[in-house]
Amino acid sequence: MKFESTSALVLDETGTLSFAQLVEQSGLSETDLQVLVECGALMPRDTHASHWTFSSRCVVTARTARRLRDDFALDDVHAVAVVLRFHERVAALEQELRRLRAML
Amino acid sequence: MKYKDYYATLGVERTATPDDIKASYRKLARKYHPDVSKEKDAEEKFKEVGEAYETLKDPEKRAAYDQLGRHSPGDDFRPPPDWQQSFGDTQFSFDDIDLADLFANIAGHSRGGPRAANAPRSGQDFEAGVRLTFEQAFAGTEIEFDMTVAEPDANGMLRRTPRKVKVRIPKGVTDGQKLRVPGKGAKGSNGGRDGDLYLDIRVDAHPLYRAEGLDLYMELPLAPWEAVLGADIELPTPAGRIALKVPAGTHAGQKLRLAGRGLSRPDGTSGHLYAVAHIVVPTVVDERQRALYGQLKDGSTFNPRAHMD
């Protein structure tokens, strides 16, 4: 059995990655990612830049989009963007609920 | 190898069209997806449905599955003699393999057209939940856990391989954050990149501190006279006890900021610790104390409800 040790990277607003890296890490196609950007589901750091870069938090969003697409066999990326928006709202509310429960 | 009836799992006939299969899968995914389902054993059922769909949605995998013949679910069986020549890319034994792993070894072409048997194949990503104590999240920690990933063996065949992984979690992580551990998913094959390990962080609630981003909040109970007169107190913080000067006239809900004593990240950024004042009154007072409170009442013109007049 292998035994390995390595450092974990926090996927938050501090890290930056390129469009190609986001394609690789999310498992989505370039076209799908472009549609998600056009829908506003993913925000490049500078939408006017010739080469988009993203915060590493976008990896979480893009991977969630891919998982939702695959899990529910969704064909339309626009539908994925809508589901993603609701999913993120639910996740944020659940986290707020956990925080408030912890204060009781 | 144990047989699984993927058609029965999806509730479709063996003659079902790809659209029928997709429609049935979508219905079952909505029913059993762990994010939306309240059904008992939903996650296990969703995995079974997902495994069946993964094979039947792909024309090549579906043809290979159909060629296995019909058996009763759970029965031990072996593929027909010429099956591997038609569908298998590598030589392997059928004795110690799961049906899902068997079909994972068939490249398939459900997306992006057919692929060559020796085309680079990225290793599978792996996701795991990690529960940390508040102290582990504050200071950073190293965790170990076991996982099973599908990766190619010496013959290039995907097999479920046990892996023990040790991961260093940086200090300052918060509840709900996701971490990426590069290259610690399954190994890629034919030059494909290794998969990554993704960690979903949960931080246990602490009886004293709660985090909001990098800032920490804690209650600071004060006696009425400490709030009015001010006080020098000793306060526990995650990094150890410190002396705190409570200013005179501190009111309930007032936040005393202890700069830089919140969560801190490896890059040097850090949050603050806020001690939120709570005025706590004694529930039992003796005669002497009651008399003192009476004197205070008689000698004071303070009206806490003046703004209501």
B279 burial (CB, 10 Å; 0-12 / 13-18 / 19+) is middle
Query: Does residue A61 sit in helix, strand or coil?
Result: helix
Q: At A79, list the tokens.
A: 């539908």
Please tell me the predicted confidence (pLDDT) of residue B309: 85
Please tell me the predicted confidence (pLDDT) of residue B92: 58
Please tell me the predicted confidence (pLDDT) of residue B112: 45
Question: What is the Cα–Cα distance from B215 to B181, expressed in whole angstroms?
Answer: 25
Helices (H) and strands (E) in chain B — how many of each? Answer: 9, 11
Give all strands (DSSP E) within B170-239, no chain letters: 178-181, 197-203, 209-212, 215-222, 231-237
Q: SS3 sequence, B15-84?
A: CCCHHHHHHHHHHHHHHHCCCCCCCCCHHHHHHHHHHHHHHHCCHHHHHHHHCCCCCCCCCECCCCCCHH
pLDDT 10s digits, A33-85:
999 999 999 999 988 888 999 999 999 999 999 999 999 999 999 999 999 99
Residue B63 to residues B60, B67, B84, B212, Cα–Cα distance (Å):
5, 6, 13, 53
Please tell me the predicted confidence (pLDDT) of residue B73: 87
CB neighbourhood size of B307 (10 A): 6
Contact call for A99 and B175, based on CB within 8 A: yes
Q: Check: CB of residue B264 under 8 Å from CB of residue B171.
A: yes
The identity of residue B219, as a single letter, is E
Contact call for A71 and B29, based on CB within 8 A: yes
Please tell me the predicted confidence (pLDDT) of residue B110: 47
In this structure, the dihedral spanned by the alpha carbons of residues B94, B95, B100 and B104, taken in order and rounded to 10 degrees, is -40
* B152-157 LR contacts (CB < 8 Å, sep 24+): B152/B187, B152/B189, B155/B90, B155/B91, B155/B92, B156/B89, B156/B90, B156/B189, B156/B190, B157/B90, B157/B91, B157/B92, B157/B105
Q: Check: CB of residue B222 under 8 Å from CB of residue B213.
A: no
Instruction: Find the CB nearest B178 among A3, A60, A103.
Output: A60
Measured in angstroms, the CA of B14 and the nearest CA of chain A are apart by 20
ipTM associated with this complex: 0.88
Query: Mean pLDDT in runs of 10 for chain B (309 residues)?
Result: 92 96 95 88 94 93 89 83 68 69 67 58 88 96 87 74 90 94 86 91 93 93 97 96 96 96 92 96 95 95 92
The identity of residue B64, as a single letter, is A
Measured in angstroms, the CA of B114 and the nearest CA of chain A are apart by 17
Q: B147, B154, B145: which is closest to B185 by C-alpha? A: B147
Cβ neighbours of A8 in B, within 8 Å? 167-170, 179-181, 199
Please tell me the predicted confidence (pLDDT) of residue B247: 97
Instruction: Find the CB nearest A6 among B26, B50, B167.
Output: B167
Cβ neighbours of B169 in A, within 8 Å? 8
- DSSP structure class, residue B192: P
Question: What is the Cα–Cα distance from B148 to B167, expressed in whole angstroms?
Answer: 16
Q: B210, B206, B205, B225: which is closest to B275 by C-alpha? A: B210
The identity of residue B156, as a single letter, is G
Question: pTM here?
Answer: 0.83
CB neighbourhood size of B120 (10 A): 12
Q: What are the beta bridge partners of residue A34?
A: none
Question: What is the Cα–Cα distance from B81 to B86, expressed in whole angstroms?
Answer: 10
